[in-house]
A = this chain, B = another copy of it.
Amino acid sequence: MNTFHLSKLENFCEAIFLSIGCPSNQASQAAQVLIAADLRGVDSHGVARLSGYIRLFEKNRINPKPNVSIEHETLSTATMNADGALGLVAGPLAMNIAIQKALHAGTGWVAMKNSNHFGIAGYHAMMALEHNMIGIAMTNASPLVAPTHSISRMLGTNPMAFAIPAGKEPAFVADFATTTAANGKLEILQRKSQEAPQGWIQDNVGNSSINPNELSKGGALLPLGSDREHGSHKGYCLGSVVDIFSAVLSGANYGPWVPPFVAFLDPPSNPVGDGIGHFFGAMRIDAFRKAEDFLYHMDNWISAFRNATPIEQSQPVIIPGDPERESEGIRRVSGIPLNPKVEEDLRMLAHKFNIQFPESI
């Protein structure tokens, strides 16, 4: 596995986005969101997805020169039309509006339609941190998940992210799919030809399956909780709330109508809205109490949880965001390792757009 300098990989992505016609500030923003995933160790959502975005662009399903606009607003809300933009571009624009609303009204909430895959939810939520705000980001996604009691794929993995500022401690950053396992974890098993644990997947008649390729045969991912006895109805509720906030509020497609992220599958012919949907929130901590008091108690919260008695001494309790921050610390210095298939994919893009591919470290 070759390793690449952060800045070189980011410049490469930016050049690709420029090549498809993105304005330079948008190309730079998109590259930054993409690289943030690789930095944070969420390899499934980083440069590995670049060629997929390009294929969607080639099918006219991504607009490189979008007119992202506010269609409706109140003091604390806005509904935005991403105009078919890369979600990597539209997401930060929406989050900035949420932050602006929060500066004035205490909180800001943005529902966005007509967008595309927005990378890691955590990037957008974390934009709030530097403003001493709590950030929230969620998105719906192509239907791969069956609700409890069903064999129909009705929901995406519909992630939610919460970023909460602390004082001396690093921020609390939770970013997770509302399924038992994210789709990226299945892809890793597929590559390694390994079996999945029970409780992640069901086959096309609803039996539990350990085959990571089951989805290609009509199977489905399971909501967080895995089965009814272990609370899958709660995971189904969470995924539903993400879908409704992201799409029924914004006017995007929802449930089984969400367009697929892959270019070789066409969007449904009977859309119920525009593109995919996201939902963003920003809450000023000093809209609730003195910021210094919040930060003090957040530090105390984090410290108490970090020091909770572990089951195994070698595995302490993890504060959400710790592993990703550690990955970022390492990869900023040592570079970003790329799976050979991902590197090959990027080299093909380099060839296609006549852009030099960076040398590995």
CA distance A348 to B100 in the complex (A): 57
Assess the A309–B152 pair: CB atoms within 8 A.
yes
Assess the B230–A197 pair: CB atoms within 8 A.
yes
Assess the A272–B297 pair: CB atoms within 8 A.
yes
Nearest to A234 among chain B residues (CB) is B176
Assess the A105–B75 pair: CB atoms within 8 A.
yes
CB of A361 within 8 Å of the partner chain: no
CB of A353 within 8 Å of the partner chain: no
Of the four ranges (under 10, 10 to 19, 20 to 34, 35 or more), the interface on chain A belongs to: 35 or more
**Which residues of chain B have C-beta atoms less than 8 A from A164's C-beta?**
241, 244
CA distance A320 to B318 in the complex (A): 32
CB of A347 within 8 Å of the partner chain: no
* Tally of this chain's copies: 2
CB of A206 within 8 Å of the partner chain: yes
Interface positions, chain A 272-329, Cβ under 8 Å from B, are 272-273, 283-285, 287-289, 293-294, 297-298, 300-301, 304-305, 308-312, 315-318, 320
Assess the A248–B298 pair: CB atoms within 8 A.
yes
CB of A168 within 8 Å of the partner chain: no
**Which residues of chain B have C-beta atoms less than 8 A from A250's C-beta?**
288-289
**Which residues of chain B have C-beta atoms less than 8 A from A300's C-beta?**
272
CA distance A237 to B236 in the complex (A): 17
**Which residues of chain B have C-beta atoms less than 8 A from A284's C-beta?**
74, 77
* Candidates B197, B199, B287; contact of A77 at CB < 8 Å: B287
CB of A262 within 8 Å of the partner chain: no
* Candidates B73, B76, B200, B255; contact of A76 at CB < 8 Å: B76
Whole-angstrom distance between the Cβ of A205 and the nearest chain B Cβ: 7
CB of A180 within 8 Å of the partner chain: yes
Whole-angstrom distance between the Cβ of A128 and the nearest chain B Cβ: 14
CA distance A249 to B294 in the complex (A): 6
Assess the A251–B151 pair: CB atoms within 8 A.
no
CB of A186 within 8 Å of the partner chain: no
CB of A92 within 8 Å of the partner chain: no
CA distance A138 to B179 in the complex (A): 21
Of the 9-residue stretches A46-54, A61-69, A221-229, which lies at the interface with chain B? A221-229
Assess the A206–B311 pair: CB atoms within 8 A.
yes
CA distance A226 to B200 in the complex (A): 13
CA distance A317 to B315 in the complex (A): 39
**Which residues of chain B have C-beta atoms less than 8 A from A116's C-beta?**
none
Interface positions, chain A 239-280, Cβ under 8 Å from B, are 240-241, 243-244, 248-251, 254-256, 272-273
CB of A72 within 8 Å of the partner chain: yes
**Which residues of chain B have C-beta atoms less than 8 A from A205's C-beta?**
311
Task: Please report A residues at the B interface, Cβ cutoff 8 Å.
Answer: 72-77, 79, 104-107, 109, 111, 146-152, 154, 162, 164, 172, 174, 176-181, 197, 199-200, 205-206, 224-226, 229-231, 233-238, 240-241, 243-244, 248-251, 254-256, 272-273, 283-285, 287-289, 293-294, 297-298, 300-301, 304-305, 308-312, 315-318, 320
Q: What 3 A-B pairs have minimum CB-CB distances, sorted nearest first? A: A74-B106, A206-B311, A174-B237
A to B CB contacts below 8 Å, 18 in the list = A74-B107, A77-B107, A77-B287, A77-B288, A79-B288, A107-B109, A109-B287, A111-B289, A147-B308, A147-B317, A149-B316, A151-B310, A174-B237, A176-B237, A197-B230, A244-B298, A249-B294, A255-B301
